[in-house]
Structure 1
Amino acid sequence: MSQINVDAAEIEKFSQLAAKWWDKTGEFKPLHDINPLRLDYIDQHAHLSGKTVLDVGCGGGILSESMALRGAENVLGIDMAELSLQTATTHAAEQAMDNVRYRCISVEDLAVEMPHTFDVVTCMEMLEHVPDPASVIRACAKLVKPDGWVFFSTLNRNAKSYVHAIVGAEYILNLVPKGTHDWQKFIAPAELARMARLAQLNVSGCMGMSYNLLSKKYFLCDDVSVNYMMACRSMAA
């Protein structure tokens, strides 16, 4: 077993909210709101239909289920918060979904167990919650098949992201619970791209995500100064 790349305080934080993952008006409303954008971005690049997919840091299964519904042949969601996985498993069973399943295992340990297994690997809104994001990126690169797709999303680290993601989202607009994010753990796109390349991933695209205060809706854009997604292809032979 590898040394677990987990922040116990982060696991506890999400465990306390585990029963609320599928409340579309509660603490996870922003994830439900951005999920169609994430899903379309992934599908446009990787064409999910018939694919074998891994969702790293799946939480309650919001993205995992949507990728299964989009046509993925099978989806495995992994997370280290067991209570979140219980919520995910229960919800999938209620929807009679037989092409999605969940496991409580670290991505590093799964990479040892199932290398080069998945057509698509997603790791969304997770890198900023772990002690060693580079370790997660290396594991994702090992898990994907040669020429497969790996997707990351996280938050940029600059003054604007502090104002928008911490002050605005947590304290003024109350979009997410206070204390959800630690600004010092945010990752600049250049840093993420460098870690991806070191893990033998080629960056194919990067897209920003912004929030319109008037419409109260999220939209994709070229501005990566706060939230962003990155699409990568495996360079493994």
Structure 2
Amino acid sequence: MNEALNADPVELAKFSEQAHRWWDPDSEFGPLHAINPLRLGWIDGLAQLAGKRVVDIGCGGGILADSMARKGASVLGIDLSTKALRVAQLHALEAGTPNVEYREASAEMLAQEQAGQFDVVTCMEMLEHVPRPESVVQAAATLVKPGGWVFFSTINRNAKAFLFAIVGAEYVLNLLPRGTHEYLKFIKPSELAGWARSAGLDVLQTQGMEYNPLTRRYRLSGDTSVNYLAAARKP
């Protein structure tokens, strides 16, 4: 993996190894299945997906991309994990999902090729897994049309996030495999907002996402101290 490519070979190997389990809601990808209706509803509520051209950066096995296509968007999912993309393509074929395609490409590569071509750009649960997240934010801003929406979700960096997202999720509740996240790669909302502004985006809304271990349910809230989503627009 060359230095120019904004990807961590260890992270890619980790997600490739688990790729065949992407669509199993009882697997380590269960939390993604559980939060997907929340993410989808929030994105659709702001961007009205029907009829829009969307790119999903770091799409993995296609959980979000597939659901956005079912909302009537024309979706391109990109990732650097060949195995995850094969799983996504196979699922789209088996499920008969219309208007979704997948491609092995980085956000930066696609930005050089298709600048200003998308109404909506999504990049969820991915920034904390790459060496240079600010580069992905810049690429997302390049890909979106003026007036278009860019959506991010990631994990805050503080003691509570360490306790909840790593100790709690990976070691106590076993929601995720151990080693899924590295604390130092977590991103404060202020950092994300700074990168977005530098890339020419206006951050218009942030939302927290909370997990209740008793009900095993997630909900959107105003608490961005652990998991959070950010919606930005290109003027």
What TM-score, normalized by structure 1, do the two folds share? 0.97
> What is the RMSD of the two structures over their aligned residues, measured on CA atoms?
1.0
Question: Which residue in 2 is equivalent to 1:89?
Answer: 89
Mapping of 1:132-211 within 5 angstroms?
132-211=132-211
Query: Alignment partner of 1:147: what SS?
Result: strand
Kindly indicate whether the alpha-carbon contact (under 8 Å) linking 1:2 and 1:109 is maintained by their aligned counterparts in 2: no
Kindly indicate whether the alpha-carbon contact (under 8 Å) linking 2:15 and 2:81 is maintained by their aligned counterparts in 1: yes
In structure 2, what residue type is equivalent to 1:13?
K
Kindly indicate whether the alpha-carbon contact (under 8 Å) linking 2:69 and 2:98 is maintained by their aligned counterparts in 1: no
> How many Å apart are 1:98 and its aligned residue?
3.1
Query: Alignment partner of 2:119: what SS?
Result: strand
Question: Which residue in 2 is equivalent to 1:71?
Answer: 72
CA distance in 2, matches of 1:136, 1:153: 13
> How many Å apart are 1:227 and its aligned residue?
0.1
> How many Å apart are 1:95 and its aligned residue?
1.1
Residue-by-residue CA offset, 1:90-131 (whole Å, 9 max, x unaligned): 000111123000000111010000000000000000000000
Mapping of 1:105-120 within 5 angstroms?
105-120=105-120
Structure 1 unaligned segments of length 5 or more: list them.
none
Question: Which residue in 1 is equivalent to 2:9?
Answer: 8
Question: Which residue in 2 is equivalent to 1:25?
Answer: 26
Q: Is 1:41 matched with 2:42?
A: yes
Mapping of 1:45-56 within 5 angstroms?
45-56=46-57
> How many Å apart are 1:214 and its aligned residue?
1.4
**Runs of 4+ that moved beyond 6 A:** none
Query: Alignment partner of 2:87: what SS?
Result: helix
